[in-house]
Chains A and B, each alone.
Chain A
Amino acid sequence: MYLCFFCPPFERQLCLTFDLLRDLKELPSIYDRRLAACGKLESAETSLLSTAAKLRRKALKKANGAGDPSPSADPERNVALAERLVPREKRPSHRLPAGFMPFSLPLIGKKVDTIDWCRQEIAATTGLLTKGRQTLADEGLAVPEDVNGDGKVDKNDRVKQTYPVLNSAFVTFNQQIAAHLAVNALTHHEPYCMADRYLEVSPPDVIWGNLGLNPYEKRIRLAISYGATAALIIFWAIPVAFVGIISNIEGLCVRESWLAWLCKLPSPVIGIIQGILPPVLLAVLMMLLPIVLRLFGRFEGIPTYTGLELSLMTRYFIFQVIVSISFINAAQFCSR
């Protein structure tokens, strides 16, 4: 599925690449699982080595009193030695998530030896990935034909495959101008068919999960995501107003009788609540906003990270205009 840039430079000038994208179903998640297991194994091995080094240094100190291990006998060079040095109960371990939960909790769930578990997990996922890739290579790509004989080629004619082709493709042209022309020209007469074309795509920039969306579905997602953005912007005013109230505790405890206890607090506490808390809370709120808006953009079906950032800019601009200008002006007007 990945766009391959391995063609030699002299050929690259002449070639036109097509990459039809396929629905890989569970393969990406297996791949993610393997990547996570690799990272976990690496950190577990490192912590095992550091424990081994510590134990060894202690043992040497006890043995000859001097305690400066010669670098040639460095346990970090030898994992087998490290595994012999570290007792079973001191090896790194973690807990598996119990039952249906997606994450593990500190006390519930089966406790496993991290290194052994990671090795098993990596082996298992590698097996699954190899099998999936083999299926992918065996099936090849079929040319769509009018299989069911209804006079037109549509998605009902698709050959049943384990990993069907997605409805998007990467096209590499010989000349740059061809790429720009292809992006700007109307390609298909039917509405929304091949309507979304993107220039200058590169593999690290692509959001692979958003490549197989139906164009109509994409429009609906656009509407939903902007609706959610509007709702978020309006309801964001509530925490912002709360922060504003906090910053004026002294006025608050005079005006509201049930909050009179606030004035009886020692003055450093009031100072902290009034002085430090509001800016921190506001900063946290403003930090969370781009994360949420980026999630909305991804939900919308934007297939590149650059496009995602641009959509974030648009949404953030709308937010700034509405919250920073309108709400604050309205608040000032009301307080007059």
Chain B
Amino acid sequence: MQHFTTVRQLHLVNPAYSRSVQANTILVTGIPAKHLSEPALRQLYSHLPGGVKKVWLNRCVPLLFLSTFRTTVVFDL
């Protein structure tokens, strides 16, 4: 167990990993309507270290782009 904990910590603090988006992203669920906007959430988390430099909303769907690409390929068969 101690070995597992050490390995996990080392993995988490590994600079290459800790810079990745996955390491810095959290998923929050059950947000009340009042906080359900980008400025409200930014304000809510503003006290955390790091600060806010840029905020943006997006609904881009990489998978769908892939599928479009695939569709064109299939059509070209």
Contacts and interface: CB of A to CB of B under 8 A. Distances in A.
B51 to A, nearest CB: 6
B1 interface: no
Contacts of B7: none
A19 B52 contact: no
B26 A201 contact: yes
Interface in B40-77: 40-42, 44-45, 48-64, 67-68, 70-71, 74-75, 77
Given A18-B38, A20-B57, A196-B30, A173 B24 contact: yes
A304 B22 CA distance: 13
Given A2-B61, A171-B26, A201-B22, A14 B41 contact: no
Contact of B41 (A3, A45, A122, A171): A171
B33 A154 contact: yes
B71 A2 contact: no
Interface string A161-179: 0000101111111111111
A196 B28 CA distance: 6
A200 B62 contact: no
Interface residues of B, number: 51
Given A45-B77, A182-B48, A187 B28 contact: yes
A24 to B, nearest CB: 9
B71 A126 contact: yes
Main secondary structure on chain A at its contact with chain B? mixed
Interface residues of A, number: 82
Contacts of A19: 57-58
A141 B40 CA distance: 13
Nearest to A214: B30
B57 A16 contact: no
A155 interface: yes
Interface string A147-165: 0000011110110000001
A171 B45 contact: yes
A194 B33 CA distance: 11
Contact of B64 (A129, A171, A177, A194): A129
Contacts of B29: 167-168, 194, 196-198, 211, 213, 215, 303
Q: Which of B30, B57, B58, B67 has the most CB of A within 10 A?
A: B30
A22 B39 CA distance: 17
A38 interface: yes
A89 interface: no
Contacts of B51: 174
B10 interface: no
A45 B70 CA distance: 14
Interface in A230-273: none
B58 A200 contact: no
B45 A190 contact: no
A1 B74 contact: no
A2 B26 contact: no
A79 interface: yes
B30 A181 contact: no
Contact of A177 (B41, B49, B54, B71): B49
B19 to A, nearest CB: 7
Contacts of A143: 37-40
Given A2-B61, A6-B60, A181 B49 contact: yes
Of all A-B residue pairs in the complex, the 4 with the closest CB atoms, nearest first, are A174-B50, A215-B30, A14-B53, A178-B48
Interface of A: 1-6, 11-20, 22, 31, 34-35, 38, 41-42, 45, 79, 119, 122, 126, 129, 133, 136-137, 141-144, 152-155, 157-158, 165, 167-179, 181-183, 187-188, 190, 192-203, 206, 211, 213-215, 218, 303-304
14 contacts: A2-B60, A13-B19, A16-B45, A16-B54, A22-B59, A144-B33, A171-B45, A173-B26, A174-B49, A177-B49, A178-B45, A194-B35, A215-B29, A215-B30
